[in-house]
Structures are given as structure tokens and as C-alpha cells.
Amino acid sequence: MNTKTYSKTQILVECALLIALGTVLAQLKLFELPNGGSVTVLSMVPFILISFRHGTRWGLLAGFANSLLQMALGGLWPTPAGTAFAMLLEILLDYVLAFTGLGLAGWFKDRMGGNSLKGYAIGTFCACFIRFLCSFLSGFIVWGSITESGIGAVIYSLTYNGSYMLPETVLTIAGIIALYKAAPRFFK
């Protein structure tokens, strides 16, 4: 879809609807871990789709709005360190950078495969990997003190965050591929 054929108002309305859909889907959890993180019913698809349809700028704005909504809906937890700096890192890594980064899917798609199924799959993977990377960094920098006995903070963060982000990534890629195959004109 060519963004130039749409008015900014039309794009804004579509983004608002997709943000609302993503927020609802984020509440539909297939499983949730005790210290945060869950596998949802395709909750990242709407934000990635915005980036594919309207470009990186709109994708980043929608992802940022998503980060604020995720915090407002009860996702923000007090850090074990209890310091203002640790809380700032949690906000940045677990929310702002992680969810805003979903908006980069279109940028990666354009550089790694273009408007093909391969491009959309790679763009989706890269955006999900950014979210994982942010959670992984937060896991050992901010949350490292809650690791299990005998397990290093890096390994704990890798396994903990991978346990929900890997299935979430697979589901998100599958959702984008299914949507692309069902309605390819929606992606142009």
C-alpha cells in the first residue's frame, strides 16, 4: 500500500484501530511467566503491520504508543534494586525500546527482501529479535539479582526471555505469513 495515496487522517485512524487491536490481543495470553513476559495471541502483528503499510516513522510511533499502554495496563514492576536508575532502565529496555523497536520491521523488510513474503518474514523476525534483545539486556542488567541459585544472570536472562519470546516470535512470523497469503494486497 502506498502511504502517499492516503491522507494523514486515514493513516492515523488505521493506526489507532491497529493499536487498539494489538492492545486487546496482548491481554489474550496463551501463557504468562511469573516475573513478566508472556506468549500472546499475535499481539505484535498489528504494530509490525503498521510499519509494513505506512513506513518506519508510523511504525515507531505506534510502537511507542504500545509501550505506554503496556506500562499503563499494569506491566511495570518495581525492580529488585529499587533505585531510580534501575527503574529508568526497566522502563527503557522492557517497554520503550522493546515495543517501539517493533516499528523497525518495515525498515528491515526494505533492506532484506523488499515486498516479498521473504522480506516480510525477515522484517518481522528482526523486529521481534530487537524486542528479545531489549528484554535479554534488561534481564541481566536490571533483573539479574533474582536469578536462581547457581545460574549466572546472562544465562538466566537468555533462557527466561527466550522461553516466551521464541514462541511469540514464531507465532508472529506465522501470523504475518498467513495474513500475507490471505490478503497480499493489504501489504502493498
pLDDT at 34: 84
Report the distance separating Cα 47 and Cα 87, nearest Å: 25
pLDDT at 75: 67
Angle, helix 45-54 to helix 117-141, in steps of 10 degrees: 130
Report the distance separating Cα 86 and Cα 69, nearest Å: 20
Alpha helices per DSSP H over the chain: 8-27, 45-54, 56-70, 84-90, 97-100, 105-111, 117-141, 153-182
* Three cell numbers, residue 135: 528484554
Kindly give, in sequence order, each residue whose CB lies less than 8 Å from that of residue 148, ignoring residues fewer than 6 positions away: 156
Backbone angles phi, psi at 48, to 5 degrees: -70, -40
Q: Kindly report the pTM of this predicted structure.
A: 0.90
Tens place of pLDDT per residue across the chain (188 aa): 444 567 899 999 999 999 999 999 999 999 998 878 899 999 999 999 999 999 999 999 999 999 999 988 876 667 666 778 888 998 999 999 999 999 999 999 999 988 899 999 999 999 999 999 999 999 888 877 666 666 788 898 999 999 999 999 999 999 999 999 999 888 87
Nearest to 82 by CA among 35, 3, 37, 143: 143
pLDDT at 1: 47
List domains and CATH numbers for the chain: 3-187 (1.10.1760.20)
pLDDT at 22: 97
* Three cell numbers, residue 180: 500475507
